[in-house]
């Protein structure tokens, strides 16, 4: 039997041991498996208590069983859920019992979602949203993923694609009639108007902030000369309750990277002082990654410990000058409130360079620095603008769509054949966005909406 027709099972809840574990089964053998294990098939969508038994009738566990007959299930196939006690031996025994059925096997990663997609339960953007929701660490990531899962982008893309296919049909019809001089213009003028409108709409979605970057988060690098306090600042940030992931510590001392949840925005701070030569292969790998990430930072905090210390003047990345060790200043006494230092205006673009004064060891000024990071993140991601794009892949395909639409508009004067070709490319890109590419659609619409009668 083809692997796609086999019945699959997997642990769908967290790692064992746990209070309860949920094992999902999907496929044509699910009914037989449930009946054999639980003694009967429960009523659809009703939690039913049952003593599960293996093939030798030996009890496995006292469980709750749920039955979701096709097509009203997560995958579109027959699905069963076993809620058992989450011990390793319980799971091993249940898995062995399931595996004993012919054509029942352990699922590959993502296979349930893949089946849902193949059965039309989800489009690709929704499947991506589902994956992102599972991996969301912060509030903004969660909201963004949920928007994807709810199909906000998918729905728009489906509408755009349908519009493009309609416009194609108008143009194709125009081509067919092109021996009758005045018909094409009549048919193609509304198509051109539609395409221009669509282009505007997609451009608007593309123009919104980089919501797809929410998945990886904002990357902030702490850099500067030796001994200015980079590691101290890093450790301070890591110690604050905002740290959401335990920092990767080097074998000797400092944190290299810490992930912060700043007002729901994921922010990764990298300490370039922690990036150092090492013989430990594990640490080497960490250093290699940190270096690569630091080189792509979205913002650099350049630490100095005297007001006139040198700093990079030219930087493609926004760079904030952070003057550290203000506690050592002679005027330290009247520093109860942190002050902001403005870097030399002759050499700084206000938006690109800002100045701060902190004492990393005492924590002075850190609140203001963090607040500034939050507003930077807001500008960067768009303050909960409801960004529709969840992934780079989606942005690229939308970009390809708008490129093709722009070419199409330009090609109108040269002849409908060229315009039609660009429309096909645009529809194809959207089809890929949704995970369904099918040129037959264009022909279908021509035959359905137009009775050309030739």
Residues that bind ligand GDP (CB under 6 A): 226-232, 273, 324-325, 327-328, 359-361
CB of 356 to ligand GDP, least distance (A): 12
Nearer CB in complex with ligand GDP: 130/270: 270
- Judged by beta carbon, residue 157 or residue 258, the one nearer ligand GDP is 258
Residues 6+ apart with CB under 8 A from 397: 429, 430, 432, 433
Shortest CB 18 distance to ligand GDP, Å: 41
Nearer to ligand GDP, 18 or 361 (CB): 361
Tell me phi and psi for residue 57, to 5 degrees: 70, 10
| Nearest distance from C-beta of residue 219 to ligand GDP, angstroms | 18
CB of 362 to ligand GDP, least distance (A): 6
Least distance (Å) between residue 235 CB and ligand GDP: 8
Residue with tokens 């529709």, as numbered in its chain:
388
**Count of residues making up the chain:** 454
Cβ nearer to ligand GDP, comparing 87 with 225: 225
Q: Which is nearer to ligand GDP, 329 or 403 (CB)?
A: 329
Helix (H, G, I), strand (E, B) or coil at 319: strand
Q: For residue 364, what are its two tokens?
A: 């002075």
**How many helical (H) and strand (E) elements, i.e. helices and strands, does the chain have?**
13, 13
User: Is the backbone peptide bond immediately before 208 cis, with ω within 30 degrees of 0?
Assistant: no
Nearer residue to ligand GDP within complex by CB, 213 or 230: 230
Closest residue to ligand GDP, based on beta-carbon distance: 229
Nearer to ligand GDP, 174 or 229 (CB): 229
**Shortest CB 218 distance to ligand GDP, Å:** 21
Q: Give the H or E element holding residue 79.
A: strand 79-86
The least CB distance from residue 373 to ligand GDP, in Å, is 18
Q: Long-range contact list for 107-116, CB < 8 A, 24+ apart? A: 107/8, 107/9, 107/10, 107/26, 108/8, 111/8, 111/10, 112/8, 112/10, 112/12, 112/24, 112/26, 112/74, 112/75, 115/4, 115/8, 115/26, 115/75, 115/76, 115/77, 116/74, 116/75, 116/76
Distance of CA 200 to the CA centre of its chain: 25
């Amino acid at each position: 039997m083809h692997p796609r027709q086999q019945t699959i099972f997997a642990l769908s809840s967290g790692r064992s041991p746990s209070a309860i574990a949920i094992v999902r089964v999907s496929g044509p053998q699910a009914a037989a498996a449930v009946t054999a294990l639980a003694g009967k098939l429960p009523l659809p969508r009703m939690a039913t208590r049952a003593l599960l038994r293996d093939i030798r009738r030996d009890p496995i566990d006292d469980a709750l069983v749920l039955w979701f007959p096709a097509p009203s299930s997560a995958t579109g196939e027959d699905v069963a859920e076993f809620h058992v006690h989450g011990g390793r031996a319980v799971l091993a025994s249940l898995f062995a019992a399931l595996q004993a059925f012919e054509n029942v096997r352990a699922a590959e990663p993502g296979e349930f979602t893949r089946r849902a997609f193949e059965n039309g339960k989800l489009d690709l953007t929704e499947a991506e949203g589902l994956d992102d929701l599972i991996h969301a660490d912060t509030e903004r990531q969660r909201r963004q993923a949920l928007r994807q899962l709810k199909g906000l982008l998918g729905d728009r893309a489906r509408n755009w694609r349908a519009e493009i296919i309609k416009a194609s049909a108008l143009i194709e019809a125009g081509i067919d009639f092109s021996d009758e001089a005045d018909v094409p213009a009549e048919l193609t003028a509304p198509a051109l108007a539609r395409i221009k409108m669509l282009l505007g709409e997609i451009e608007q979605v593309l123009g919104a902030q980089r919501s797809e970057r929410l998945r990886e988060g904002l990357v902030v690098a702490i850099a500067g000369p030796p001994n200015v306090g980079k590691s101290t600042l890093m450790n301070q940030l890591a110690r604050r309750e905002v740290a959401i992931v335990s920092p990767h510590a080097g074998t000797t001392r400092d944190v290299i990277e810490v992930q912060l949840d700043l007002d729901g925005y994921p922010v990764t701070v990298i300490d370039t002082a922690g990036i150092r030569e090492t013989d430990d292969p594990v640490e080497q790998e960490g250093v290699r990654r940190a270096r690569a990430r630091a080189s792509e930072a979205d913002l650099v905090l350049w630490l100095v410990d005297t007001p006139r210390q040198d700093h990079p003047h030219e930087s493609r990345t926004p760079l904030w000058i952070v003057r550290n060790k203000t506690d050592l200043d002679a005027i330290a006494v009247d520093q109860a409130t942190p002050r902001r230092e403005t870097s030399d205006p002759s050499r700084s673009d206000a938006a690109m360079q800002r100045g701060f004064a902190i004492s990393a060891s005492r924590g002075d000024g850190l609140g203001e620095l963090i607040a500034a990071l939050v507003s930077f993140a807001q500008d960067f991601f768009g303050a909960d603008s409801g960004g529709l794009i969840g992934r780079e892949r989606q942005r690229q395909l939308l970009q390809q769509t708008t490129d093709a639409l722009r070419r199409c508009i330009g090609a109108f004067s040269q002849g409908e054949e060229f315009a039609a070709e660009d429309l096909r490319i645009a529809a194809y890109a959207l089809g890929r966005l949704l995970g369904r590419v099918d040129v037959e659609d264009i022909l279908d619409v021509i035959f359905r909406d137009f009775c050309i009668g030739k």
